[in-house]
Amino acid sequence: MPPTVILVRHAQARHNAEKNFTIPDPDLTEEGHEQCADLRKSLMENPLAQKAGAIIVSPLRRTIQTALRSLDWLIETGVMIEADADWQENSVQPCDTGSTIDKLTQEFPNVDFSKLDPVFPDKTSPAASKYHFTKTAILNRAQSALKNLYARPEQVVIVVSHSAFLRQGVSGYWYFNADYRIFNFAPSNSIEDGFRLEQHQSTREAGGGLGRSWIDPVVLGSELPVEDPDKESDTECNGIGRGY
């Protein structure tokens, strides 16, 4: 039986606060650290989160920092944090491009980077086509991420990822900073149907576990570019389309 999945958006990072998407792999802000405290309290009190047997993170600093600050109570029981490049953010802006694996390994020794795609943090070369900023690549990457989740043995898995990828690629719902939603895998008649998630009523009707996110669903892929957008375009520079 596939696990229940708790999808978490990272807490506020510098690029969110400053609306500056040229900041490389930004850290959480002071407000982001405060948001982690609220997230931590909510997850600690959630019966499903208490059963989590694995934590998967996008290998960017803000998602790792969010996991370490809000899920320390699980980590202390032996639950591992695994970095997975499938869960990184969509765009190729500096804020959405990770640091080198060597740097991350030194900075976050308690995170397991052993299975991280060695092409990371590349998102633009032919070798990194899986991570290109196109509708086809992002939707395919989301299916890869869900396929891997579906096969996991744990009863509950927590994933810390990003707004645009979670909204446009994975679930079709909005996520405020440090908010989360709970899902089960939808029944499927065949592999060709793909992997779909069905949200628990509690987080769907409340607008997330903390009630901070918009309730209205969106169509998967509806905001994603068919081709790689011009890096100097207005869409790229103002954050629209990269999921601010």
Q: How far apart are CA 99 and CA 88, in angstroms?
A: 12
Reading phi first (left if > 0) and then psi (alpha if -120 to 50, else beta), residue 221 is in: left
pTM: predicted TM-score of the whole model, two decimal places: 0.93
Q: In this predicted model, what pLDDT tens digit does every residue of 24-38 receive, in sequence order?
A: 999 999 999 999 999
Catalytic residue positions, numbered: 10, 162
Q: What angle do CA 209, 212, 217 make, to 5 degrees?
A: 85
pLDDT at 95 over 50: yes
Q: In this predicted model, what pLDDT tens digit does every residue of 175-187 receive, in sequence order?
A: 999 999 999 999 9
pLDDT at 229: 62
Q: How far apart are CA 11 and CA 27, in angstroms?
A: 10
Nearest to 68 by CA among 32, 120, 116: 32
